[in-house]
Amino acid sequence: MRKTYWLASYPKSGNTWFRLLVANLRRDTPVDINDIPERSGIASARGAFDSIMMFPSALLTHEECDRLRPMVYEVLAEDDLEDPDEVETKIGHTRFVKTHDSYSYNPDGSALMAGAKGADGVILIVRDPRDVAPSLANHNRTSIDEAIAFMADAASNFCGHRDRQPNQLRQQLMGWSGFAESWLSQVDIPVHLVRYEDMHADTSGVLGGALAFAGIDAAPDETVRAAGFAEFGELKKQEEERGFREAPRPKMGKGPGSFFRRGVSGGWRDELDLDQIARIERDHAPMMARLGYAPAENAAVAKSAPPTQDRIERMTG
Amino acid sequence: MAAGVVGVMGIARLYQYTVSGLSVASELVLPGLIAAEDMPGVSPDVVIREGEVPGALEDVESLGPTWQVGKGRFLLEVPGILRMLLTEGREIVFATAEGVAREEATVFVSGTGFGILLHQRERIVLHASAVRVRDSAVLFCGPSGAGKSTLAAALSDAGYDLVTDDFCGIAMDADGLPWVQPDGRQLKLWQNSIDRLDMADRRAAPVRKVLEKFYVEPRAASTVALPLAAIYVLREARPPAVPGIQRPNIVDGALMVRGNAYRPAMVRRMNQQALYFQAAAAISQRAGVFTLTRELNFAKFPAVIGWLEAHWTELGLLEQAA
């Protein structure tokens, strides 16, 4: 029986790292970063939509696509595509599918991600918004201030252009707080919360916990090995040697950016000014508190914040 | 072909087109296709009309969420817009959803509908745009968004007549040589591309009222069948892929051709894998299959056209500069 788990995250929160960890499980050598699925690996890819519906998403408005997307996820959850363009991120019969879509409902009341018919659960990856901001600025080739404004905007999206064909279906992000809220408050599928900071502190343990949530038994030595293969230095080295196809695109005279930038938690302390820190904390105070990200003046407390995992798992069963 | 005439009865006005070498009589005005002379007494190969479309087929052989296949028939619904029934490669009957103008059906009938109809006729149909280079056609393949139409538009302005946009029918002649059947007189471009390519003065009707995508007149279009000289599979230059034109090995080239079928799932559902593989192998041998890897950046078009012209000279499609 095929199982599907969404890997949901606000952009720049560790989704690719998590997929690389999964891809490195039960391997003898580190996986090539350019071998993890790209186009078909994300829920907003156009290829699956076009091939399942038999007409192109490009001839529809974003709103029309949204209405039909649940059908696509239902079919994908049921079927093994006979001749997929790319392999998916899979362990056995369990698919892990990246998404930057917030959890939303169409005007007819159906869940965009098809609710329980689209997936068996979601691994929600969150990261301190103060670390997301500089990383997002680097990825989008914008200023940090623009990234902070983007994260605060509940109407923000990826691939939402109307005068050209975006390379993926539109993803409505709902802002940093709204994104996490949307996935945490839905009751259609169980949620397993992973904090980027906890992935840093105990990569193997967090990976093992997430895999267990998805019904996959992985022995500690297996997760330790995968964690080593997907260690930041290894990923960075691969990107420096051969490049990474998911790296930021060149923009206005700048060459391609690097995807694996710093790979740290708490880097915001030397990347943001006081005003920027204050803005992010003001924009996202309730969700930061809920996820255990303490305000700057109490930064020391953040490290000892109680894990929110137990509470969330209890909440969602 | 007499069976195709059945649908003509009772139709007030028919518009004549040539699509992929087929004569088409349509109740619907189909912008972007090649208008043809009315030939009294001659039955068209394909009839397109508005009419009753069943909600489901009786003898379903395979189905998806929006389509059903059964015994020479293909039923497709674009929810909220239209339903259409395609029969044995010779008839398309469409019905728009309540409150939807029939003009909204146009792009789905002429694009998706005709593409599937050509599959029913066991034609080789690739997701490709094509231009004429002297006496041959060269194709640009790739998934939706790969930049096929935009490149064809830039090339048409550089003096290479448009042959097809979006989908491309290929016929193999008695000697096994691939020929490209022209499909269109107009390009379909997004407003951003129209602006960047400076083609605003040639912008015609929107593809759909709700989309900022328009029919655009090319500088010139070719209406004769041309031998297929080269297929370029478009790739975005992102690491580790490097910019330039490369020739894959013959097996990879054949797989790329098959993978760029207009609807790969149709090839599977209609059990045409062998047909496509043979054609793809023949195309790989007779014509060149290449990858064209470049940045998705309008400023790079002159450079990319330069690479292509150098490559066409190398292939003997253009003569050497004196």
Contact A11, A158 (CB under 8 A): yes
C-alpha–C-alpha distance, residues B168 and B115, integer Å: 8
- Chain B residues with CB-CB distance to A245 below 8 A: 238-241
Residues of A in contact with B112 (CB under 8 A): 54-56, 59
Q: Within 10 A of A184 (CB to CB), how many other CB atoms are there?
A: 20
**Average model confidence (pLDDT) for chain A?**
89
Question: Is pLDDT at A174 greater than 50 in this prediction?
Answer: yes
Q: For residues A62 and A15, what is the distance between their CA atoms, to the nearest angstrom? A: 24
Computed over every residue of chain B, the mean pLDDT equals 90
Q: Report CA-CA distances (Å) from B134 to A162, A262, B309, B316.
A: 36, 53, 12, 10
SS3 for A160? coil
Contact A85 B212 (CB under 8 A): no
Residue A257 contacts B where some CB pair is shorter than 8 Å? no
Buried b (16+ CB within 10 A) or exposed e, B168-207: bbbbbeeeeebbbbbbbbbbbbbbbbbebbebeebeeebb
pLDDT in tens, A197-249: 999 999 999 999 999 999 999 999 999 999 999 998 889 999 999 899 888 87
Kindly indicate whether the ipTM for this predicted assembly is greater than 0.85, answering yes or no: yes
3-class secondary structure, A94 = strand
CA-nearest residue of chain B to A63? B210
pLDDT tens for A5-20 read 999 999 999 999 999 9
CB atoms under 10 Å from CB of A116, counted, come to 13
3-state SS class at B184: strand
| Domains of chain B, first to last | 15-121 (no CATH), 124-315 (3.40.50.300)
CB contact under 8 A, A243 and B266: no
Contacts of B124 by beta carbon, 8 Å cutoff, 6+ apart: B169, B170, B171, B172, B178, B261, B275, B276, B279
Q: How far apart are CA B293 and CA B284, in angstroms?
A: 19
- Amino acid, res. B247: R
Interchain proximity B264–A165, CB inside 8 Å: no
Instruction: Give the pairing type, strands B34-35 and A121-126.
Output: unpaired
The pLDDT assigned to A304 comes to 45
Between strands A157-158 and A171-172, the pairing is: antiparallel
Q: If you count residue pairs, one on A and one on B, with CB atoms under 8 Å apart, how many are there?
A: 102
Q: A85 at the B interface (CB within 8 A)?
A: yes
- pTM for the structure as a whole: 0.91
Q: Are B214 and B194 in contact (CB under 8 A)?
A: yes
- Region A3-304: CATH code: 3.40.50.300
Q: What is the pLDDT of residues A285-304, one digit of tens each?
A: 999 999 999 998 755 444 44
Of the candidates B125, B117, B188, which has an alpha carbon nearest to the alpha carbon of residue B153? B188
Contact A245 B238 (CB under 8 A): yes
Confidence grade of residue A313 (pLDDT, cut at 50, 70, 90)? very low
Taking CA atoms, B274 is separated from A64, B255, B271, in Å, by 36, 12, 8
Q: Is A54 in contact with B192 (Cβ distance < 8 A)?
A: no
Average pLDDT over residues A36-62: 89
Residue B176 has pLDDT above 80, yes or no: yes
Which pLDDT tens digit goes with each residue over B67-94?
A: 999 999 999 999 999 999 999 999 999 9
Question: In terms of DSSP H, where are the helices of chain B?
Answer: 106-107, 114-120, 148-157, 191-196, 250-259, 264-269, 273-286, 301-315
Side chain identity at residue A214, one-letter code:
A
Chain B interface includes A75 (CB < 8 A): yes
**Domain ranges for chain A:** 3-304
Q: Is A159 on the interface with B (CB under 8 A)?
A: no
A242: contact with B, CB 8 A cutoff: yes
